[in-house]
Structure 1
Amino acid sequence: MTTWGRVEYTTVRELRGPLAVVEGVSGVGWDEFVRITMESGERRHGLVLEVDRELAVVQVLEDTTGMDPAGLRVAFTGAPLRIPVGPDWLGRVCNGRGEPIDGGPPVFGETDAAVSGNPINPVRREPPSEPVLTGVGAIDGLTTLVRGQKLPVFSMAGLPHLELAVQIAAQATAGGEAFSVVFAGMGLTYPDAAFVRDALEERSAAGELVLLLNIADAPVIERTLTPRVALTVAEHLAFTGGRHVLVVLSDMTSYAEALREVSAARGEIPARRAYPGYLYSDLASLYERCGKIRGRPGSVTVLPVLTMPAGDITHPVPDLTGYITEGQIVLSREAHARGVYPPVDALASLSRLMRKGAGPGRTRADHLDVAAQLLAALARARQVRELADLVGQSGLSETDRRYLDFDEAFLQRFVHQSNDELRTLDETLDNAWQVLLTLPRSQLSMLPVALLDTYGAQETSRRTSARNDGKGPAR
């Protein structure tokens, strides 16, 4: 419960965009929660962004529209913004500030927590070691997500990154252990918000989902608050409730643009492409809240989704995100144009913690070997395709033409799946073997002979059975 200060200030010097400048203050600190009362009795709320002697800059969460500086009373709480936390969040749909929009009562909790969060002590961090399976073959097979990891999705305008984020949120599991998803949508249009809500309805009804929806026309300050609310809820569910929690943040580029807008209103000196100079530390303060804590149950895994303006991976948001996170999943226009969903560019994608969470004892014994061979063969297939563009397919060797067949089979039989298909890891790896065995055995040098003998024989038997089924009973 927040205790409001008894002192109310009426000395609001000016309103500047989403900001209110209050003078004559004393004892006010950065990040304090603020109550603003208008002449009509309406109340709004804010956070202290900056304090300079007797001057405080307050960002108003509901925006400053309709406010008259002469008629405002401002009270400071002496504490940062806190929200109730606990399992009551599960199954609820709220706006970006955590206020219900599902027709239900306010969310109550067994305790409350500051949305600014607390960094995990590096000494207490436990290395990630178990997978989070998304049901998306290209991700589970080649860029396995690990509990406690932060793994972003890099996309571009026009690609189905929101559909992929929703599919992951709807399907992800942690091997039968207690699992929840916190989905934070930022800067969504009304149709996109309706799509997210409908697609995740089943998981929400099962009490496994927290849904925060920040609409594009909501006050810009709400968007800067949304991921912090999401992570605060997730941390309690994980480290107190013992759940493995996946936090999906989409779209972090919208979040960064909101941060830039607030920075401009404050009159700060801009850095690259007018983003504030503290963009790196701000993003890190969000992404680094994931992880596992030694001696505590549960984990927080973060999947940020961001769009690269004009497909520029050197843009500040993807560039700084790449420095902080442990890999990336990159979506491709070329694969999308070929009708592949999800249009994952496997060679540009990477999960740096995959070897910690996949392989013997964690997923399947052949997982890492198959993934390495797939990527090696795909790299060779790309080279062959470039060569074919120069000399034509008639100038290629028989082996090179097999690589072209492999490239097509990889996209259509391994990567491609419907946006509501839950593909098990066994199905994903079996598909991988089918694709690999379109190549001559001599080209599969990264696979142990024992694996080739086992799965090669199984695939030969499967193909024989399929031919017999097509022509009648085997004799």
Structure 2
Amino acid sequence: MSVQFVGLKEINGPLVVLDNVSNVGYEEMVELVLEDGSVRTGRVVLLEDKKAVIQVFEGTRGLSLTNTKTRMLGHPMEIPLSTEILGRILSGSGKPIDGLGEIFAERSADINGKPINPVSRTYPRNYIRTGISSIDALMTLIRGQKLPIFSGSGMNHNKLAVQIVRQAKVTKDGGQPSDEKFCVVFAAMGVKNDVADYFKSSFEESGVLKNVVMFLNLSNDPIIERILTPRCALTVAEYLAFEHDMHVLVILTDMTSYAEALREFSSSKGEIPGRKGYPGYLYSDLASIYERAGIINGHKGSVTQIPILTMPNDDITHPVPDLTGYITEGQIVLDRSLDLMGTYPPVSVLPSLSRLMKDGIGEGYTRADHSALANQLFASYAKVQDARSLASVIGEEELSPIDKNYLEFGTYFERFFINQSFEEERTIDQTLDLGWKLLALLPREELDRLDSKLLDEHYHPEDARMFRGA
């Protein structure tokens, strides 16, 4: 039986308060009927004795304390699910905004999902090829992994997100494209209209939109919707992965906008703030999103996450990237100095890593020499930074011949390996071969992370000519 309440006790920002309520559940959905007959949606966000605090999605402007009618719906927020959802563009709360009509649902599901029993998880193996050398070779994305991108304001993370959506592919033995079903769930939170149009036009022009589900929450949409967007996206991803055996890549941008919406909402509830004003439960809230990635025993599909977040003032110790780093399995860090030099994508190699990479590359996954080559490229590029630091003190002309070698290697590594055209998609073989050619710029005795068998097979000093003549 549906119970209806007439009148409100209090209105405070996006929140309204009802008194003398019973048999109401936390997260329960609510309909509010205004005097003019229009209906708004809300959900219960706080229960204290017989008082219920309701979050109104469309805002509280125009609500009356005396005549507003409130109806409890008896269930949490749900999103309609169907395979027809592929190729659709939805609002942040899952309503179609592409003019193609409603989605005919097979069923509806609670957007909060169900926690995955750790015992039922399968360890992630196999990689997802992005076609971007710096990611595929040095911080490989594994199916079922959560690998965030840490960016800064004004950097090219939107362009990088579009390229990953356009080029991402699941692979089989040896890194070849697989015939397994693959799709992308793309959720944008707090983006401006021009950025939203860029995402839509890019996916349409490249022809990938048919395999993408887009959730768009604009900067002028209610912050309440922003808090729902990643949960709606992940509910769709879990449905496609675990009921239709698809490998799903979920891209969430920008998680900092999500966290700021959570901070604003927490403040409106009068909660005690934590570090930098964020609520004390920010860690567990982010974990409830990130931990929905993975592979479950008995299911062929997987959910892989790439959350993108901007670091305020490029500060990696800011609460949002800091807590994200604790929960996720690595990070891809974008470097502002590389971005200013015109390098795209401006991936900062040394602070970036993928903790699951070691078990999803090598023979049978990518190529037998992948792991050793990646270790050597990391080690050599670290020595480049040492040589640059020394040159800034004593001058480049005072460096030893080997330090000058490393400076040369660093220049060409950034110019040819990290730097890559937005339109260019490299296979794993092209990427690894390019890495070996770059190592030819260094003397063989400096390559101490590689065994002699690999060096005999792949190290050819004459390959250095192609860079020095460029």
Write the distance in 1 (CA, Å) between the matches of 2:19 and 2:426: 59
Partner of 1:189: 192
Write the distance in 2 (CA, Å) between the matches of 1:63 and 1:203: 37
Q: Secondary structure at the match of 1:34?
A: strand
Write the distance in 2 (CA, Å) between the matches of 1:394 and 1:287: 49
**1:253 and 1:461, CA in 2 relative to 1: closer, same or farther beyond 3 A?**
closer
Q: Secondary structure at the match of 1:269?
A: coil
- In percent, how many aligned pairs have the same letter? 50
1:117 aligns with 2:113: yes
Q: CA deviation at 1:58?
A: 0.9
Q: Please list every run of 5 or more consecutive structure 1 residues that lacks an aligned counterpart in the other structure.
A: 471-475
RMSD: 1.6
1:228 aligns with 2:237: no
Q: Deviations over 1:227-255 (max 9, x none)?
A: 00000000000001100000000000000
1:447 aligns with 2:450: yes
Q: CA deviation at 1:461?
A: 7.2
Q: Secondary structure at the match of 2:44?
A: strand
**1:82 and 1:318, CA in 2 relative to 1: closer, same or farther beyond 3 A?**
same
CA contact (8 A) 2:184 2:251 kept: yes
After TM superposition, where is structure 1 displaced by more than 6 Å over at least 4 residues in a row? Answer: none
TM (norm. structure 1) is 0.94
Q: CA deviation at 1:412?
A: 0.6
Q: Deviations over 1:26-57 (max 9, x none)?
A: 10011111111111111111111011111111
Q: CA deviation at 1:463?
A: 5.6
Q: Deviations over 1:157-197 (max 9, x none)?
A: 12111111121122111122210000000000011001111
Of 414-423 and 181-190, deviating more is 414-423
Write the distance in 1 (CA, Å) between the matches of 2:241 and 2:169: 14
Q: Secondary structure at the match of 2:249?
A: strand
TM (norm. structure 2) is 0.95
Q: Deviations over 1:358-396 (max 9, x none)?
A: 111111111111110000000011000111111112111
Q: CA deviation at 1:67?
A: 2.1
1:159 aligns with 2:162: no
Partner of 1:174: 170
Q: Secondary structure at the match of 1:185?
A: strand
Q: CA deviation at 1:6?
A: 1.9
Q: Deviations over 1:306-354 (max 9, x none)?
A: 0111111111111111110011100101111211101111001010000
CA contact (8 A) 1:12 1:21 kept: yes
Partner of 1:71: 67
Partner of 2:31: 35
Q: Secondary structure at the match of 1:270?
A: coil
Write the distance in 2 (CA, Å) between the matches of 1:280 and 1:218: 25
Q: Deviations over 1:387-417 (max 9, x none)?
A: 1111112111111111001001110110101
Q: CA deviation at 1:439?
A: 0.7
Write the distance in 2 (CA, Å) between the matches of 1:338 and 1:461: 26
Alignment of 1:95-110 (within 5 A): 95-110=91-106
1:54 aligns with 2:50: yes
Counterpart residue type for residue 195 of structure 2 = D
Q: 2:139 aligns with which of 136, 140, 143?
A: 143
Of 126-135 and 60-69, deviating more is 60-69
CA contact (8 A) 2:166 2:208 kept: no
Partner of 2:355: 352
CA contact (8 A) 2:111 2:231 kept: yes
Counterpart residue type for residue 229 of structure 2 = T
Write the distance in 2 (CA, Å) between the matches of 1:118 and 1:373: 42
CA contact (8 A) 1:227 1:249 kept: yes
Q: Secondary structure at the match of 1:157?
A: coil
Q: Secondary structure at the match of 2:346?
A: coil
1:9 aligns with 2:5: yes
Q: CA deviation at 1:83?
A: 1.1
How many residue pairs match? The answer is 462
Partner of 1:394: 397
Partner of 1:473: none
